Structure 1
Amino acid sequence: METIEIKIQVPREILKNIPDISKYTYEKFVLGLYLDEEISTGKAARMLNMPQDKFLEFCGKNNIPYFRSTPEEIQTEIQIMVGL
């Protein structure tokens, strides 16, 4: 996969509790892409060099739900399944 380098500037004081800012920033970037539905769970897992099940655990640790359907969407799906 071809890569590019991105450079950002942030205030030093916000980094004092983050030991590896490059790793932290990359992980949050990948999670953001996943949340925005730009990439799949599989792609996100590959980008973070982890198995897909570990990525799902990682999402949970970062308060990102695997299932992002609304209650209405879930109800509609249930009604469709009951009608089968």
Structure 2
Amino acid sequence: MQKEARKTEVHSTHSVNIITVNLPLPTDLLSIMNIHQMSLPSKLKELIVLELFREGLLSTGKAAELLDMPRFAFITLLKQNNIDYFSESPAELSEQISQADALLKKELL
């Protein structure tokens, strides 16, 4: 059995480098994901961006930009995939709010 050649292409679009990867996948995986083969590239990109966000490697703004969607749409996508938008504890959020309030009061003076 001949191995399928793996091909990587680099394209430049709007000064952003794009890499195209040829990735052989079992058809069972498509069935499990319940998506059509034509939707696979965008779904894989979405899954990669979601995981990078989950790992704290992407902000919501950058993730939304990579998926070419508004930030609110990305936040909605997080909810649909049961990914927490806030990773801070309630105490950490309270502290951040207090710091923001202090900065606003300082600017108003």
TM range (shorter): 0.7 to 0.9
Partner of 1:75: 91
**What code does the residue aligned with 1:75 have?**
A
Match of 1:27 among 46, 59, 80: 46
Distance (whole Å) between structure 1 residues aligned to residue 56 and residue 30 of structure 2: 28
**Aligned partner letter, 1:5:** T
Structure holding more strand per residue: 2
61 and 79 in structure 1: CA distance in 2 versus 1, 3 angstrom threshold? closer
So what's the TM-score if we normalise by structure 2? 0.63
Aligned to 2:68: 49
Letter of the 1:18 counterpart: I
Structure 1 residue runs of 4+, over 6 Å off? none
Supply the distance in 1 between the matched residues of 2:70 and 2:95 (Cα, whole angstroms).
33
Q: Residue 18 of structure 2 corresponds to which residue in structure 1?
A: 3
Change (3 A) 1:3 1:64: same
The structure whose Rg is larger is: 2
CA positional deviation for 1:35: 1.1
SS in 2 for 1:3: strand
Using the size of structure 1 for normalisation, the TM-score is: 0.79
The amino acid of 2:60's aligned partner reads: T
Bigger drift between 3-12 and 38-47 goes to 3-12
Q: Return the alpha-carbon distance in structure 2 between the equivalents of residues 77 and 25 of structure 1.
A: 32
Gaps of 5+ in 2: 1-15, 103-109
Matches of 1:62 and 1:8, distance apart in 2: 24
Q: Which has the higher contact order (CA 8 A, sep 6+)?
A: 1
